Chains A and B, each alone.
Chain A
């Protein structure tokens, strides 16, 4: 008898989603969907508001990466105030970078330690009551403390520049509204109150070493699990190095051929289009030149390491090279490498933070610059989860008339569906009974993309995992939620 499996809610991800897998009479997977069940409508209700409010309230899209939304919106409204991202004062640029790299550091730490580590430490078939940070805290206390401390470091950086750990404010049109004091900076360097930046670098390297040995032990599984070819999208600077705050968009296909060649951010709509499916509130962006079927791209850590030529910091670059050699010096299309890639990015962030913290421009300098107002601003930034686009249009009085947001996780929509399909076909198809471990593997595949579904739905809707089993007449015959 054919069945539909539903996983609802998908847990240990940020947001609300549901998976349905349809099986035929023989228990073979017919189709599978990863539904995003939330919709909030920011693009509409921001209209009519003054543009300078955008960075303040658009960050309420997401409580995990509010900084990315704050800064992407800020980069867009800089242009409306007549200042291009590269024309900001050095102080403003560096403070924003400090905030952004601090945020990527904390967000990656959150994902790795709080959300993903139970799968890595206890295995994919561990019982449900074990698969959480509390079990990690009980059994691997040192690791839990390190994870919490690393996240705190990033959060404290954000607090120092934005006043609050979550939903703080730093950017104003054309710059920033404060610098940091010497005492605030030394807090991160001298190690008297909290573990300092050097400790962060050391600890990140330790976790990377753990990850390397994990990959050596499980290479075959990690190579194969949820492997599928796709394009990869990210941002690079003029030297081809990965840049998370500002740069040009680059995409490569699954073999490494360049399919989007370093285009400036403000041309994004010439290249990208978004498809709508009736079964998800999240849209499906793709490259127009390639088309809907093959033109979609993965974003986030795997994609970014795939498309950049190098990382600008030495330790992280060394790790990137090792990671590349390990995979055979080719484009990485294996979902499970995202955790390792995420850690390499963390190291890159920590090194960048260290460099920035030693920069005297953080303490003093010109805060805001003014230019000739414009009617359009497009801000693109590499958020922790991938390429994030904010596009605002305003009238001559400064009222927002149009807003378009392409949130990082949206780019991964096809990728996550592809990952679910892989698990459905390789793990669930033609099995007599559906086990908890099988369902967790579906979630593991989704979780690797660190989806932030609260952003992705721009706030009308919700993510969780239910597997529903439907027969060939599409009648619901069984619902399996996890446990």
Chain B
């Protein structure tokens, strides 16, 4: 019989088994502590990611490495701690090259899941865009170092039959990366290989031939939040009922028009929407210059040339509220994959080296009527202040219009977990 003790979580007295793991105690009592590296059967817990940081007896400690003791006072759900956790997860997104729209782990990724649970729509830190390698040498897997967050799960948990480690940390500090012992990898069983992929918190370990096997809707983190009250938490207050007609402007910078298409995907509800709003400058109208001050400007795509920057500034000047719509506008998205590559190489590949190019061609487009391409793709909020972010590639049509209605008329809305996605 375990020894029962008394602890306090966010002011609520709770009876728990002495020495139990704090994350598990909280979970048994219906309290969610966000956690990333923590994995039930790795003992002792890793404590590497710090996402589960709580205030324990007044000190900041990760919950996963904490055993409960008599009289322990724990703070979990405070504004400060939630913001700290968000900042930690945002740092991981900024540090690696996490391109959910292009990643086969999307939907089954723990890092992405934490972003959803914490409601991270944009990252407050600048993305580093470090040029990392993809290791193709292992026989049955590839190691995608762009996506590794160094959580240590694979290092501690993946071992061969005779107990040898397969993964290990190499180098130090900022330069730390996870190395792989190719010989040991070769003797892992099929099951152990799959386990390595599944245990990886991101898409850093990918097994050949086992990719995108799960359709949308059936993936691990597609539909339901682990938090019972996710939707209530995200509920916006309703302060006004008067629906005055509003003016909207939209534009696509370095985007693919998918976000614009998603706006159209509310189908015939669009007809009700156009009763309430009128469009000013937008690619779906023939209005090419601002004719009115706009209540809201919706930006799709990041900035890849000087003209994008001018257009974005023009929108900032002419719109009361500016919304970054979709991953490209929020942080650069798929086009920002060129940020780790010199621009000259991109141009040379397209105009000089392509197999169908005319042999001996030396022309790379450069003309007074062509915008100049920037050294890298910039997120919209690197150029101007952005007031609201709607993530997704593309964002869900319902999510877009709910958010717009809230911004324009303070209409109450819930962001459903299933509508808040990065892919």
Binding site for B on A (CB under 8 A): 6, 8-9, 11-16, 18, 20, 33, 35, 37-41, 43-45, 47-50, 52-53, 56-57, 60-64, 66, 110, 114-115, 128-129, 131-134, 137-138, 141, 144-145, 148-149, 151-152, 155, 162-169, 172-173, 177-178, 268-269, 272-281, 283, 285, 391, 395, 397-399, 402, 404, 406, 440, 443, 454-455, 458-462, 464-466, 468, 481-483
- Chain A, Cβ-Cβ closest to B301: A462
Question: Interface 1/0s, chain B 336-364, versus A by CB < 8 A?
Answer: 01101101011111110011111001011
A483→B281 CA distance, assembly (Å): 11
B337 touches A45 (CB 8 A): yes
A164→B213 CA distance, assembly (Å): 15
A191→B363 CA distance, assembly (Å): 55
Q: With a CB–CB cut-off of 8 A, which chain A residues contact B340?
A: 45
A459→B212 CA distance, assembly (Å): 24
A63 touches B268 (CB 8 A): no
A60-B102, A145-B268, A165-B265 are contacts. A39–B350 as well, Cβ < 8 Å?
A: yes
A66→B258 CA distance, assembly (Å): 8
Contact of A278 among B134, B367, B371 (CB under 8 A): B367
Q: With a CB–CB cut-off of 8 A, which chain A residues contact B394?
A: 63, 166-167
A15→B343 CA distance, assembly (Å): 21
Looking at B104, B211, B255, B361, the one whose CB has the most chain A CB atoms below 10 A away is B255
Q: With a CB–CB cut-off of 8 A, which chain B residues contact A268?
A: 356
A144 to chain B, nearest CB (A): 7
A43-B350, A164-B216 are contacts. A464–B253 as well, Cβ < 8 Å?
A: no
Q: With a CB–CB cut-off of 8 A, which chain A residues contact B284?
A: 11-12, 114-115, 132-133
B265 to chain A, nearest CB (A): 6
B210 to chain A, nearest CB (A): 10
A276→B340 CA distance, assembly (Å): 25
CB contacts under 8 Å to A, within B244-267, are 252-262, 264-265, 267
A383→B63 CA distance, assembly (Å): 53
A60 touches B393 (CB 8 A): yes
A41-B346, A163-B215, A168-B216 are contacts. A397–B136 as well, Cβ < 8 Å?
A: yes
A397→B104 CA distance, assembly (Å): 18
A166 touches B258 (CB 8 A): yes
A265 to chain B, nearest CB (A): 13
B276 to chain A, nearest CB (A): 12
A398 touches B208 (CB 8 A): yes
- Chain B, Cβ-Cβ closest to A20: B369
16 CB contacts below 8 A, A to B, read A11-B286, A16-B252, A18-B369, A35-B370, A39-B346, A52-B104, A66-B256, A132-B286, A152-B268, A167-B394, A177-B214, A273-B356, A278-B365, A279-B365, A283-B357, A391-B355
B289 at the interface (CB under 8 A from A): yes
B278 touches A134 (CB 8 A): yes
Contact of A276 among B103, B307, B333, B363 (CB under 8 A): B363
B241 at the interface (CB under 8 A from A): no
Main secondary structure of the interface of B (DSSP, over half): loop
Q: With a CB–CB cut-off of 8 A, which chain A residues contact B104?
A: 52-53, 56
* Other contacts beyond A110-B264, A132-B279, A454-B255: 9, CB < 8 A: A39-B350, A60-B256, A166-B262, A177-B215, A269-B355, A276-B361, A280-B365, A398-B208, A454-B252
- Chain A, Cβ-Cβ closest to B397: A165
A11 touches B285 (CB 8 A): yes
A137 touches B274 (CB 8 A): yes
CB contacts under 8 Å to A, within B290-304, are 291, 304
Q: With a CB–CB cut-off of 8 A, which chain A residues contact B209?
A: 173
B271 touches A275 (CB 8 A): no
B157 at the interface (CB under 8 A from A): no
Contact of A274 among B304, B308, B357 (CB under 8 A): B357
Q: With a CB–CB cut-off of 8 A, which chain A residues contact B66?
A: none
Question: Interface 1/0s, chain B 125-155, versus A by CB < 8 A?
Answer: 0000000001011000010000000000000
A100→B286 CA distance, assembly (Å): 30
B140 to chain A, nearest CB (A): 11
B305 touches A461 (CB 8 A): yes
B291 touches A483 (CB 8 A): yes
A402 touches B355 (CB 8 A): yes
A43→B206 CA distance, assembly (Å): 23
A63 touches B257 (CB 8 A): yes
Q: With a CB–CB cut-off of 8 A, which chain B residues contact A443?
A: 286
A50-B134, A57-B102 are contacts. A44–B345 as well, Cβ < 8 Å?
A: yes
B101 at the interface (CB under 8 A from A): yes
A273-B357, A274-B358, A281-B370 are contacts. A131–B365 as well, Cβ < 8 Å?
A: no
B267 touches A152 (CB 8 A): yes
B218 to chain A, nearest CB (A): 8
B305 touches A52 (CB 8 A): no
A58→B142 CA distance, assembly (Å): 20
A49-B134, A57-B101, A278-B363 are contacts. A462–B371 as well, Cβ < 8 Å?
A: yes
A40 touches B254 (CB 8 A): yes
A433→B368 CA distance, assembly (Å): 25
Q: With a CB–CB cut-off of 8 A, which chain A residues contact B265?
A: 155, 165-166
